[in-house]
Chains A and B, each alone.
Chain A
Amino acid sequence: MEMVRTMKYVSLLLALSLSALGADFMLAIGNPAAASIPSTVSPTGGGPVPTKVSKDALFAVRPEGCANPANARITGTAEGLVDGTRQSAALRLLPGSIPGVYVVSREGPPQGVWVVKLTGVCGGAKAGALVPVARGGFQRESAKFYPRPITEAEVEATLKSLSGGAR
C-alpha cells in the first residue's frame, strides 16, 4: 500500500516535471496573417505593430504548451517530390509581431508535391508538424502534428499519399 502511494507520488512529480519541461508542447499553424494582427488602424492605438507579410508566406506557426514561447526554437525544411525525384528546399521563418510566432515562406519550384517539415524545441521537449503546401497556400485539414520530431518515413508516406502513390 505504501509502495502504491509512493509510486503515485512519483508519477505525479514526474508528470509535473515533464509538464514544466513542455511535455504538452505542440506546434500550431494558421493563416500567415495570424502572425501579425493589427489592433487598430488608428496610429494612436495599442497592440503589436503588424510586420510585413510576404506574398510568399505559406502559413504562421507558433508553439503551444511551452512555458516561455519566446524561447522556443522552430526550424524546418520543405520536402518534395518533383517528377518522381525527392528534393529538399530551404524555408524562411520570419518572426511575427508576437514572440514565438513565425511566418513560414518558401521560394521553390511550383511543380511537384511538397510538405513543410517543422521541428520545435521548448526546453527539453520537442514537437513536429507536417504541413502539405500547394500554390494556393497550406492544406490545414491534411496537416499532422506530433509531440516529437517528424520521421523520414512519415515524410515519405505523406509525399506518396499527396502524389497519389506515383513516384
Chain B
Amino acid sequence: MRDDKPPLGPIESGQLPLVKAPDSIWSSILASLDEDRAPVRRGTHWWVLAAAFSLASAVVLWLTIRPKPPSWEVSRLDGAPSVGSRRLTDSGRIAVGEWLQTDASSRARIGIGEIGSVEVEPNSRVRLLAAKPNEHRLALDRGEISAVVTAPPRLFFVDTPASTAVDLGCAYKMKTDESGSGLLSVTAGWVALEWKGRESLVPAGASCRTRQGDGPGTPYFADASEAFRDALAAFDFQKGGSDSLRVVRGEARVRDTLTLWHLLSRVGRDERVRLLDRMVELMPLPQGVSREKALDLDADTLGRWRQELAWKW
C-alpha cells in the first residue's frame, strides 16, 4: 500500500486519491471489540437476571398477600343471575359496590358473611354496600328478598328507597316496587324499619308497608280484617285522619294492639285518648303502667306496656 500523504490545498472533485488503511488499524479495531464483549458475558448478564427474578418474586408475593376487596359468596338458584357484568353460572362473589340482578326466571342466594343468607327473587336488583364485621348492608333497589339472620341484632341492614330494615335477630321478606314503595313481612323475631327518626318495630307474624316520601307505615298483623288494613293504609299514606282511625279502633282485636300501640305516638292527644281507651277495653292496663304517663308518651311506660302486650300479639 502506498504511504501517500494527503495533498495540501483544495482538492478538485474526482481528484481525492484512494488509499488502503494500514493493517495495524484493523488489528487494533478487532482487539478493542474483543475487550468490549468480555465484561457483558461475565457480569452484567447475571445482574439483570437476578434483578428481574427479584422483581417478579415481589410482584407475585404482593398479589398473594394483598388484602382483597370485601365480598360475599353468591350462588345461583335458578336461571342466570348477573353480578356486575358477569353472568353467574354456578357460584361466585359479589364485591362491595357491585349489583346483583335477576331476571324473570332467575334467583340467587347471597351469603351474608358468617351470619345468614339472603335469597334474591326474580326481577330484583340488589347492591352490596358494606361487608364489615360490624356492618353488613345491602340496598334493595327493586324486587324481593328473603333474609334469615342468626346474628346478634343491628348487624344486618337493608336500605330501600322508603326505609332501612334493621335486623334484630330474625327472618323476613322485603319487597320494593318501581316506585320505591314496599312491604316488609316478618316470619321470626323482630325487624325495625326506620326512616328519618320514624321507627316501626315489626314482630313475627306482622307486616308493615313503606312508601317513598312517607317512610314506614304502622305495623299490623296479616290476619287483621281487610277493613282494618285498608283503614290503616289510608291513615298512614292518604291522610285518612280521624275517619280512618275510627275504623281501625272498631275493627281491632286483642292482637291488633300492636297497631294501636304504634299509633299512640303518631296522633294528637284527643285521638290518643280514644286509642288508649280502646286498648284498655281489649286488654286492661298491666300493673305499673300509668294511664297518664302512657298518654304523655313516657318511654319507660310505653316500653313496659308493650312488653305485656306482646304476650297477646
Q: Which residues of A contact B (CB under 8 A)?
A: 28-34, 36-41, 43, 47, 49-55, 57, 60, 62, 98, 137
> Is B306's CB under 8 angstroms from A37's CB?
yes
Q: Which residues of B contact A (CB under 8 A)?
A: 148, 150-154, 166, 168-171, 187-190, 192, 194, 199, 201, 203-205, 303, 306-307, 310-313
- Name the distance in Å between B20's Cβ and chain A's nearest Cβ: 98
> Is A30's CB under 8 angstroms from B190's CB?
no
Known contacts A33-B190, A33-B204, A47-B303, A41 near B312 by CB under 8 Å: no
Tell me the nearest residue of chain A to B200, going by C-beta. A41
Q: Specify which chain A residues have a CB less than 8 angstroms from the CB of B310 in the assembled complex.
A: 30-31, 33-34, 37
User: What is the total of A-B residue contacts with beta carbons within 8 Å?
Assistant: 80
Known contacts A31-B311, A31-B313, A50-B169, A43 near B154 by CB under 8 Å: yes
With beta carbons under 8 angstroms apart, the residue of B154, B188, B313 that contacts A41 is B154
> Is B204's CB under 8 angstroms from A36's CB?
no
Q: Specify which chain A residues have a CB less than 8 angstroms from the CB of B312 in the assembled complex.
A: 30
Complex-state Cα separation, A39 to B151, whole angstroms: 18
Tell me the nearest residue of chain A to B310, going by C-beta. A34
Most buried by B among A28, A37, A98: A37
> Is A41's CB under 8 angstroms from B192's CB?
yes
Q: Specify which chain B residues have a CB less than 8 angstroms from the CB of A53 in the assembled complex.
A: 169-170, 188-190, 204
> Is B313's CB under 8 angstroms from A50's CB?
no
With beta carbons under 8 angstroms apart, the residue of B154, B189, B201, B203 that contacts A52 is B189
Rank and list the top 5 A-B pairs by shortest CB-CB distance, nearest first.
A30-B311, A33-B203, A53-B189, A34-B310, A41-B192
Q: Specify which chain A residues have a CB less than 8 angstroms from the CB of B194 in the assembled complex.
A: 41
Q: Specify which chain B residues have a CB less than 8 angstroms from the CB of A39 in the assembled complex.
A: 303
Known contacts A50-B153, A52-B151, A53-B170, A38 near B188 by CB under 8 Å: no
Q: Specify which chain B residues have a CB less than 8 angstroms from the CB of A29 in the assembled complex.
A: 311
With beta carbons under 8 angstroms apart, the residue of B166, B169, B306 that contacts A36 is B169
Q: Specify which chain B residues have a CB less than 8 angstroms from the CB of A54 in the assembled complex.
A: 188
Tell me the nearest residue of chain A to B201, going by C-beta. A38
> Is A38's CB under 8 angstroms from B168's CB?
yes
Tell me the nearest residue of chain A to B303, going by C-beta. A39
> Is B189's CB under 8 angstroms from A33's CB?
yes
> Is A33's CB under 8 angstroms from B148's CB?
no
- Name the distance in Å between A96's Cβ and chain B's nearest Cβ: 11
Q: Specify which chain B residues have a CB less than 8 angstroms from the CB of A40 in the assembled complex.
A: 199
Q: Specify which chain A residues have a CB less than 8 angstroms from the CB of B192 in the assembled complex.
A: 38, 41
Tell me the nearest residue of chain B to A97, going by C-beta. B169
- Name the distance in Å between A85's Cβ and chain B's nearest Cβ: 30
Q: Specify which chain B residues have a CB less than 8 angstroms from the CB of A50 in the assembled complex.
A: 153, 168-169, 189-190
> Is B307's CB under 8 angstroms from A37's CB?
yes
> Is B153's CB under 8 angstroms from A38's CB?
yes
With beta carbons under 8 angstroms apart, the residue of A30, A52, A60, A62 that contacts B169 is A52
Complex-state Cα separation, A50 to B151, whole angstroms: 11
Complex-state Cα separation, A49 to B155, whole angstroms: 13
Most buried by B among A33, A34, A51, A54: A33
Q: Specify which chain A residues have a CB less than 8 angstroms from the CB of B307 in the assembled complex.
A: 34, 37, 98
Most buried by B among A40, A41, A60: A41
Tell me the nearest residue of chain A to B153, going by C-beta. A50
> Is A52's CB under 8 angstroms from B152's CB?
yes
> Is B311's CB under 8 angstroms from A60's CB?
yes
Complex-state Cα separation, A39 to B203, whole angstroms: 13
> Is B204's CB under 8 angstroms from A31's CB?
yes
> Is B166's CB under 8 angstroms from A41's CB?
yes
Complex-state Cα separation, A57 to B101, whole angstroms: 33
> Is A30's CB under 8 angstroms from B303's CB?
no
Q: Specify which chain B residues have a CB less than 8 angstroms from the CB of A43 in the assembled complex.
A: 154
> Is A55's CB under 8 angstroms from B171's CB?
yes
Known contacts A33-B190, A34-B311, A57-B188, A51 near B169 by CB under 8 Å: yes
Complex-state Cα separation, A56 to B33, whole angstroms: 88
Please name 8 further chain A to chain B contacts, defined as beta carbons within 8 Å, in addition to the given A33-B310, A37-B307, A57-B204, sorted by A numbering.
A28-B311, A30-B311, A32-B188, A32-B189, A34-B311, A49-B152, A49-B153, A52-B189
